[in-house]
């Protein structure tokens, strides 16, 4: 295996420093940092062909790399790449004020506001009933699904949830969200009961093998991964007859949509979801409106 050129090694050091700053200053999550690292390394490799580093990049280099990627990737990936480059060079300017920013004229692709796919309430009931709660794993899965649906947790928030952040007596969960922001969310009686059962009957069978403080763990007594949580939901969705395209985020969408359908206001929903900006929450009004139109068309005598 050939050694990396010096230019690429220099770019790697810059990327490492940038990602450290991104974590320290903004609390960027591992998934975000991993995506940015991949994007920046791809750009660095394109520069290394002419023995240039990220610090040497010109506007032409940036525009050419983005244009080449536009023919190979979807708009959302392109938008992330643009974000990675912009944030990197903004950080670079703070570290070296005399440096030039080659992204000043870079424009991100327009992204349409995608309506999140949700689930009907009867589909949620089928999914919640799908795990075999006579088994430890089924009991864990039921508790996970109940908590996600009751509290609107992101899958990352779920798998990283620690025992000290649960208040089962009051039915509250302290969630550590994006950017290290905390929020207190009710979990309701149903989720509290299922989580309590799981903690008493299933979790002790696994944590004896390892010392972890996460609420939901694997049979090996280790913290679950996002992929593992996704696989469990996908398998139970098939059992429930919902289909194999269900994602963990759809439980969060269902939480938001069903709250709106039953009279919740946007400000309260924003707080429960942990959205920094109300405009992010407003997308759910479109989902709820579409649902109301379907109900009207189905049940109104003059629809």
Catalytic positions are 154, 178, 249, 252, 275, 284
The pair of three-digit structure tokens given for residue 30, joined into one six-digit string: 């591992």
Q: Which residues, 6+ apart, have CB-to-CB distance to 224 below 8 Å?
A: 159, 214, 216, 217, 218
**Rounded Cα gap, residues 55 and 101, in angstroms:** 9
* CA-based nearest residue to 41, from 13, 67, 60: 13
For residue 50 the two structure tokens come to 């002419």
SS3 letters across 113-181: CCCCCCCCHHHHHHHHHCCCCCCHHHHHHHHHHHHHHHHCCCHHHHHCCEHHHEECCCCEEEEECHHHC
Here the tokens at position 66 are: 């983005």
Instruction: Note whether 266 and 285 are within 8 A (CB).
Output: yes
Nearest Cα to Cα of residue 212 among 163, 152, 140, 269: 163
Q: Kindly state the tokens that stand for 185.
A: 């969310």
Phi, psi of 163 (to 5 degrees): -55, -40
Phi, psi (rounded to 5 degrees) for 121:
-65, -35
Distance, in Å, from the CA atom of 153 to the CA atom of 270, rounded to the nearest integer, reads: 13
Q: Describe the chain by its helix, strand, coil percentages, rounded to 5.
A: 60, 5, 35
């Amino acid at each position: 295996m050939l050694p990396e050129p010096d230019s690429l090694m220099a770019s790697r050091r810059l990327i490492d420093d940038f990602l450290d700053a991104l974590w320290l200053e903004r609390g960027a999550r591992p998934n975000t940092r991993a995506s940015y690292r991949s994007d920046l390394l791809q750009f660095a490799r394109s520069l290394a062909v002419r023995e240039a580093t990220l610090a040497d990049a010109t506007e032409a280099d940036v525009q050419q790399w983005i244009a080449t990627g536009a023919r190979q990737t979807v708009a959302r990936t392109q938008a992330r790449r643009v974000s990675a480059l912009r944030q990197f060079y903004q950080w670079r300017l703070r570290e070296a004020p005399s440096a030039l920013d080659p992204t000043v004229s870079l424009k991100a692709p327009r992204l349409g506001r995608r309506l999140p796919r949700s689930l009907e309430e009867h589909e949620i009931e089928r999914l919640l009933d799908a795990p075999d709660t006579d088994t430890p794993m089924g009991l864990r899965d039921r508790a996970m699904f109940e908590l996600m649906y009751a509290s609107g947790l992101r899958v990352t928030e779920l798998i990283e949830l620690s025992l000290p952040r649960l208040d089962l007596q009051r039915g509250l969960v302290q969630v550590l969200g994006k950017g290290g922001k905390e929020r207190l969310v009710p979990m309701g009686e149903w989720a509290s009961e299922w989580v309590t059962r799981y903690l008493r009957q299933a979790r002790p069978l696994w944590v004896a093998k390892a010392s972890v403080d996460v609420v939901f763990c694997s049979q090996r007594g280790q913290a679950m991964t996002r992929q593992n949580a996704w696989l469990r939901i996908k398998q139970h969705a098939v059992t429930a007859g919902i289909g194999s395209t269900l994602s963990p985020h759809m439980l969060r969408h269902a939480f938001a949509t069903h709250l709106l359908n039953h009279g919740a206001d946007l400000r309260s929903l924003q707080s429960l979801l942990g959205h920094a900006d109300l405009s992010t929450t407003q997308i759910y009004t479109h989902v709820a409106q579409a649902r109301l139109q379907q109900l009207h068309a189905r049940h109104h005598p003059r629809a």
